[in-house]
A = this chain, B = another copy of it.
Amino acid sequence: MPEYKAPIRDMKFVMQELLDCDSHYQKLGYEDASLDMVDAIITEAAKFTEQVVAPINQSGDEQGCTWNDGEVTTPDGFKEAYQQYVDGGWPTLAQNVDFGGQGLPHSLNTAITEFFSSANHSFAMYPGLSHGALATIEAHGSDKDKNIFIPKLVEGTWTGTMCLTEPHCGTDLGMLRTKAEINDDGSYSITGTKIFISAGEHDLSDNIVHIVIARIPGSPEGSRGISLFIVPKFNVTDAGEVSDRNAVSCGSIEHKMGINANATCVINFDGAKGYLIGEVNRGLNCMFTFMNAARLGVATEGVAAAEASFQGALAYAKDRLQMRSLSGVKNPEGPADAIIVHPDVRRMLLTQKSIAEGGRALIAYLSQLVDVGHAPVSEGRVNEAEKASAEAKLALLTPIAKAFLTELGLECTSHGVQVFGGHGYIKEWGMEQLMRDTKISCLYEGTTGIQALDLLARKILGSKGEILKPFGAEVTAFCVENSGNEAMQEFIQPIMTFGGDWQKMTEKLGLKAMDNPDEIGAASVDYLMYSGYLVLAYFWARMAKVSQDKLAAGDDDSAFYQAKIKTARFYFQRILPRASGHAACVENGSDSMMALDADDFAF
């Protein structure tokens, strides 16, 4: 089991040096989020995840959750760790002060979320889901609902879920069958079965607040007839106290590839009492509000998995002696050289490192955009144009981050197994668990294919390319700004080349899609992957620039900045070129994909 050490130094680099979170927080009025406070929270979160959360990761996987007559028991140590999490005030960090939160920025919470997810993917999901439920109620719930449900969700004594999927509908929520019938008192009776409900039942909290989508009889068919409800596991008094059990039960839990310590539940609603959130038939719109946040959370899991696997592989590669370097013995005292001398081992380690660090920068950048989105124009700290720009960047980059970083996260965990050789396949070392756990991130909150369609069809072609402009302008400005900087040309030139090709590819796809909409789906995943490689290149270039400046200024930490520049170089030379393969696939269009009749796939 690799020992987890939170990447404090790198997180500070990204937040403070790359993205100047100090100015960002001051501008948005987060007076408490001083550099000292940011440091303190990151340091404490590191300690908590290393000492409390990581140690129950492997045992949690082995033991898993157990279901017994509707009750779910989490693995040993989870209840205690969750209690410490609540006692430490961690759930309240970025929540509204009106409901007991600390009112710190969302982006600060996102930073520590990575630590939790690296340390223990299953554990990190419990708070993650509460956050989605809480945010939904805060944005769309009545004042009464807010007062009853939010304080407990903020303090973490209650947890939340999102109940969307049904056996016959996942992506296609318009097909849902769960129904909501109005009661005399204005509440609803919810009846139906939901599946794949993460944290749907467990023993960590006093109550579980399900956010459920259902159809009110008589509503339009499809996605326009979906409403949203709060359905607590235990009914709740007006004073916000738990009372009797609601007609909500956990029918079973799934046996899965990974995330075994997070119960994935079948939840049965048998006329359960629920409360409408938002307007009738506007449920999906209410959900969409938080889709970016949820997807950003999953993207973070990809980075977290790459980081955790990198740490394990790096330690092993420095320790394991096997064969001699092709370019001469490096460890003459020992029976063999450490495997980190072998170029192919380095290729795998540097792939992990460049994805983890590049992804961290992208996530931190996006989470600052979320901060901007949360800031009300009325306070005068951000104007409409700034918010619109942030929204456009977030809308564009979220599906890229979600799909690209989780696919690359999976690849990185596979490299982690490879670095260990046969040992990587053995559970004891913990490397294969990372691979099993992180595969879910390519699936939930919209598969890679769905993200790719969201990006290309809904966002880019749907806006006739408008959505590309703010981020495109930012990247162009950066390139122009550094056009005279000789040392930056190895990074700037490829961005301009690949960026120019991206633009041409996008325009061409727009034209082709007018003739044949299947061109969109056929290109989408390769297009998204191309975009991901390019976007990460931009962040690597920015990190290289910051590092060059630090070195030029004679910063003491020169080894750190030299390593950043070398890693940037690796990314540009050995990762970014993969985009060419994706471009060539996009170029070749949909014909070969659509030609085969469904009956002719197998004989």
- A342 with B521: CB separation less than 8 A: yes
The answer to whether B322 and A525 have CB atoms under 8 Å apart is: no
- Oligomer: number of copies: 2
Q: How far is the CA of A201 from the CA of B517 in the complex (A)?
A: 57
**Is A263 part of the binding interface, using a Cβ–Cβ cutoff of 8 Å?**
no
Using Cβ atoms and an 8 Å threshold, which residues of chain B touch A598? 318, 338, 340-341
Question: When chains A and B are docked, how far (Å) is the Cα of A344 from the Cα of B525?
Answer: 7
Let me know if B255 and A427 touch, CB within 8 A: yes
- Tell me which residues across on chain B come within 8 A of A254, comparing CB atoms: 426-428
| B314 with A602: CB separation less than 8 A | yes
Docked Cα-Cα span, A587 to B414, in Å, equals: 24
Q: Which residue of B lies closest to A354 (CB)?
A: B592
* A280 adjacent to chain B (CB < 8 Å): no
Indicate if the CB atoms of B577 and A581 lie closer than 8 Å.
yes
State the CA gap A424–B442 with chains docked (Å).
11
The reply to whether B521 and A326 form a contact with Cβ atoms under 8 Å apart is yes
Residue A343 at the chain B interface, CB threshold 8 Å: yes
| CB-based contact A344/B444 at 8 Å | no
Name A348's closest neighbour in chain B (CB-CB). B449
Q: Report A314-345 residues with CB < 8 Å from chain B CB.
A: 314, 318, 321-323, 325-327, 335-336, 338, 340-345
Mark out the residues of chain A between 506 and 525 whose CB falls within 8 Å of any chain B CB in the assembled complex: 516-518, 520-522, 524-525
* A345 CA to B601 CA, complexed, in Å: 13
In the bound complex, residues from chain B placing their C-beta under 8 Å from that of A424 are 443
Instruction: Tell me the complex Cα distance, A426–B323, Å.
Output: 40
Would you give the shortest CB distance from A196 to chain B, in whole angstroms?
A: 5
* 1/0 contact string of A551-587 vs chain B (CB within 8 Å): 0000000011011001101101110011111101101
Complex: A293 Cα to B256 Cα, angstroms: 35
Report B-chain residues with C-beta under 8 Å of the C-beta of A346. Answer: 522, 593-594, 596
A318, A439, A559, A601 — most chain B CB neighbours (10 Å): A601
Closest to A565 in B: B595
CB pair B425–A343 under 8 Å, yes or no, is no
A588 close to B (CB within 8 Å):
yes
Closest to A452 in B: B344
B170 touches A322 (CB 8 A): yes
Q: Does A448 make an interface contact (CB < 8 A)?
A: yes
Q: Is A96 an interface residue (CB 8 A)?
A: no
Residue of B nearest to A307 (CB): B602
A350 within 8 A of B: yes
B322 engages A171 (CB within 8 Å): yes
CA–CA, A322 and B168, complex, Å: 8
**Which chain B residue lies CB-closest to A222?**
B335
Given A326-B517, A603-B560: A335 and B436 within 8 A (CB)?
no
Question: Which residues of chain B have C-beta atoms less than 8 A from A442's C-beta?
Answer: 414, 418
Quote the shortest CB–CB distance from A50 to chain B (angstroms): 14
- A9 engages B603 (CB within 8 Å): yes
Whether A517 lies near B602 (C-beta < 8 A) is no
Q: With an 8 A cutoff between CB atoms, is A10 at the interface?
A: yes
CA distance A165 to B321 in the complex (A): 14
Nearest-CB residue, chain B, relative to A516: B327
Residues of B within 8 A of A492 (CB): none
- Cβ of B426 and Cβ of A443 under 8 Å apart? no
Which chain B positions have C-beta within 8 A of A524?
343-344
- Docked-complex contact B585 and A582, CB < 8 angstroms: no
Which of B7, B314, B417, B435 has a CB less than 8 Å from the CB of A443? B417
Bound: A38/B305 CA distance, A: 48
Contact A563 B443 (CB under 8 A): no
Inter-chain contact A418/B443, CB cutoff 8 Å: yes
Q: Which residues of B contact A578 (CB under 8 A)?
A: 581-582, 584-585
Binary per-residue interface labels of chain A (172-189) against chain B in the complex, 1 for a CB within 8 Å, 0 otherwise: 100100000000000000
In the complex, the answer to whether B562 meets A600 with C-beta atoms within 8 Å is yes
Once bound together, how far apart are the Cα atoms of A422 and B196, in whole Å?
8
Does A37 interact with chain B (Cβ within 8 Å)? no
CA distance A344 to B448 in the complex (A): 10
For residue A402, give the distance in angstroms from its CB to the closest CB of chain B. 14
Given contacts A322-B172, A410-B414, A425-B256, contact A592 B579 (CB under 8 A): no
- Are A517's CB and B439's CB within 8 A? no
Bound Cα distance A562, B414 (Å): 37
Cβ contacts under 8 Å, A171 to chain B = 322-323, 421
**Residue of chain B at shortest CB distance from A523:** B343
Residue of B nearest to A421 (CB): B170
Q: Tell me how far the C-beta of A584 lies from the nearest C-beta in chain B, rounded to whole angstroms.
A: 3
Closest 9 CB pairs of A and B: A581-B581, A577-B584, A343-B521, A257-B432, A573-B588, A326-B517, A343-B522, A578-B581, A344-B449
Task: Jot down 13 A-B pairs with beta carbons below 8 A, ordered by A.
Answer: A7-B602, A256-B425, A326-B518, A327-B516, A327-B518, A344-B522, A346-B593, A421-B447, A425-B443, A566-B595, A574-B585, A578-B584, A580-B581
A residues adjacent to B (C-beta < 8 A): 7, 9-10, 165, 168-172, 175, 196, 254-258, 264, 310-311, 314, 318, 321-323, 325-327, 335-336, 338, 340-350, 353, 410, 414, 417-418, 421-428, 432, 435-436, 439-440, 442-444, 447-449, 452-453, 457, 516-518, 520-522, 524-525, 559-560, 562-563, 566-567, 569-570, 572-574, 577-582, 584-585, 587-596, 598, 600-603
With A7-B602, A171-B322, A196-B422 given, name 6 new contacts (CB 8 A). Answer: A171-B421, A311-B602, A318-B598, A326-B517, A342-B521, A343-B522
